[in-house]
Every structure is written in structure tokens, then in C-alpha cells.
Structure 1
């Protein structure tokens, strides 16, 4: 039996070991960078890490969860977030998006958002993968309200949230940097709502 096979099986039998999680994160960054989000597969990532594909679900819940931790370093699981956002009325989805975005990032700390921005501005591959992720993530939200022009609406939503994050957490412009979450929800929520399903003119 080769050393590579032995290593792979050893890691596969030790789901509690941090070596498995670390190997998956390192492999995911490479595979996502080479293939993009849509073309990267759980099997390819696991093979590169030398572990069983089931370990992706064990540690991260899904490919989306692995991507969030390996590339975006998001303070949430994308699948769980989609369930939260689509669990209520479509009429106030924009407000829920803004509220969730701000509360999650406020709780994680501004330095985490800064790390995300650095990863996409410093690496072209990460930027492409982030674009693919946003298209898929917001595409599902836009689709949930039955809207047309999904790609345009998706990028409009992304620009609003990323821009708000830049001002609040990176540039720290006042008063937005210290404004209460519900105040921003009331102001920005209707804009997101229009991007999601309103008349774009």
C-alpha cells in the first residue's frame, strides 16, 4: 500500500482530527482557484486532500460551506443563510437581507470583512469564484420572488451589500460605521427590495 493511500485512509477514519479539516481547506483553495465555484467538485477537493468525500459534509456541511470557510471566510453557512432569508414573506425580503448581512458581520468583527475584501482584490481567482458564488446565491433569492433580469438584479444586490460593507467595516465612514442596524435596514432595505423584484426602469 502506498504512503498516499495510507494517509488518505488514516485521515478518512479520523473525522475529529484537525489535520483533515486543514487538508480540506488547503485543497479547496487550490481547486476553487483552478476550476471556479461551479466546476469544482467535492470529490475533486477530497481527492486532492487525500480524504474521503464524506469528510466535506462532516466538517462543512456542503460544498457551499467549504467554499465559505476556505475562500470567503464567511461568518455563516450559505445554505443555512438561504433558509433563513427565504423563510418569510417576499414583501420584506430586502429588509431581512440587510438585517442579516449587518448582524452577521457586526458579530464577526470588521476585520473579517476586511480579510474577505483583501482576498478578492489580491487574487484574481478568488474574485472570479466570489462572482460565481454571488450569482448563484442572489440568483436563488431573486428567483424566489419570480423576477426577471436575474443576472442584473443579482449584481445590483451584490454591489449594494459589498459597498455597504466597505463603508461600514473597511473605510469606516461615519455615520454609517456606527449607525444602528435597524436604521440601515429601514433605509437600505427598500433599495434591495427594488433590486430583487421591483421596476428597474
Structure 2
């Protein structure tokens, strides 16, 4: 009997498919890959993140990342869709209370998401990647246009609703970029209530102003 020879009943694994030991526990492994992807994109940005690096951080083979998600772009889109989920609840702020107070409600909601450490980290991954890479930016545009801006515009019964929603979003994203990503002072250290008080009237003007 030859030592180290494969047993006769061991079927060869097709190239490009993860082995049974690599495939882990299905959904749990997929979630682990997504968590690792969010961390990698957050720390390195889209350009410097690789499928191999994501696989290493998740403790799996690169073939398993491709098996679940496909290309790096598809991994990024899957990761940010999950990460962006809290912000997608923002349109609910349009429906709660008087229309002339919607700017404050929306602003308070968005900065509440940013101030929460659990939701801030994945948002940083999205923004940092989108501002440094066109592929990542295209993914971000698809997500924010289809799932956030379109929903907000649909709740504003005014002319140019889509443009209004985009201008409001630009105001909020711009302030968030300077405060949380670039960390420009004194904006980065200002209290969140002070930020809401200054930004909310501008957002209100974009959404419902003449």
C-alpha cells in the first residue's frame, strides 16, 4: 500500500469550486466574508482591497469568495448593500410629522446613523471607496439612486422632487464627508446637535423651499 495515495472513493474536485472543508457552514461563512469585506474596504479603500485579502481576513479560500459573490465589484456591492441598510430607513422621516419639519427629522436621522459606531464603520468603507474609485462610485450611485433618493423623491409632492432629494442628499453627504472622513476642524469636533441645528434648515430648503 503506497503511503499518501488518495483513496479510491475520493472524487476529484472540479477546478474553481470550493472544497467541502472550504465551504464551511453556508450562511455563516457568507456572513463572515461580508464582515471581512466591509473591514477591508473600510481600512484600505476599493483600490487596495483584493479578493485574496478578503478571503484571508475571513479565513477562507479565494475560490469561496468568488463562489458566493463573483467579482470584487460584486463583493463590494453586496457588502455595502448590507452596510447601507440603516440609512435606507431615512425615507420614513419624510412621512413622520409635518412637512415643514422634515428637514430636521431627516438630518437628525442621518447623523444619528453616522454617530453610531456600529453603523459608522461600514459607511466609512462606502464613502472612502466611492471617492477614490470610479467602479466603487458607480456601485454607490446605483444603490443611493434606486433605494434612497428615489424613495425620498416619491414622498415629496412638489415640482423637481428628484432634484430636491439629490440636493438634500448632497448637503448631508458633504457634511458627513468633511466631518467623519476628512475630519476638518472645527466641524469634526462640533456637537451633533449643533450640526443638526445648522444643517437641517438647509436640507428643509432643498426639500420644500420655493
1:104 counterpart (113, 121, 130):
113
The structure that has the greater radius of gyration is: 2
Q: What is the CA–CA distance in structure 1 between the aligned matches of 2:36 and 2:67, rounded to whole Å?
A: 8
- Gaps in structure 1 of 5+ consecutive residues: 30-47, 52-65
Give TM-score scaled by structure 2 length: 0.59
2:183 counterpart (172, 189, 192):
172
2:144 counterpart (134, 143, 164):
134
Q: The residue matched to 1:147 in structure 2 has which SS?
A: coil
Shift of 1:106: 1.6
CA-to-aligned-CA distance 1:23-73 (integer Å, 9 cap, x gap): 7997xx9xxxxxxxxxxxxxxxxxx7459xxxxxxxxxxxxxx95x61367
Equivalent residue runs for 1:68-107 within 5 Å: 70-71=79-80, 74=83, 76-79=85-88, 81-82=89-90, 84-89=92-97, 90-107=99-116
Cα distance, 1:21–1:91 mapped onto 2, change above 3 Å: farther
1:154 counterpart (148, 162, 165):
165
Bigger fraction of residues in helix:
1
Q: What is the CA–CA distance in structure 2 between the aligned matches of 1:73 and 1:176, rounded to whole Å?
A: 28
Shift of 1:183: 1.9
Cα distance, 1:147–1:124 mapped onto 2, change above 3 Å: same
Cα distance, 1:134–1:50 mapped onto 2, change above 3 Å: closer
Give TM-score scaled by structure 1 length: 0.61
Aligned length: 164
Q: The residue matched to 1:17 in structure 2 has which SS?
A: helix
Q: What is the CA–CA distance in structure 2 between the aligned matches of 1:192 and 1:128, rounded to whole Å?
A: 24
**Contact kept in structure 1, 2:90 and 2:106, CA below 8 Å:** no
Cα distance, 1:108–1:154 mapped onto 2, change above 3 Å: same
Shift of 1:195: 1.0
- Alignment RMSD: 4.0
Structure 1 position 121 matched with structure 2 position 131: yes
Q: The residue matched to 1:134 in structure 2 has which SS?
A: helix
Q: What is the CA–CA distance in structure 2 between the aligned matches of 1:146 and 1:134, rounded to whole Å?
A: 20
**Contact kept in structure 2, 1:142 and 1:153, CA below 8 Å:** yes
Q: What is the CA–CA distance in structure 1 between the aligned matches of 2:31 and 2:117, rounded to whole Å?
A: 25
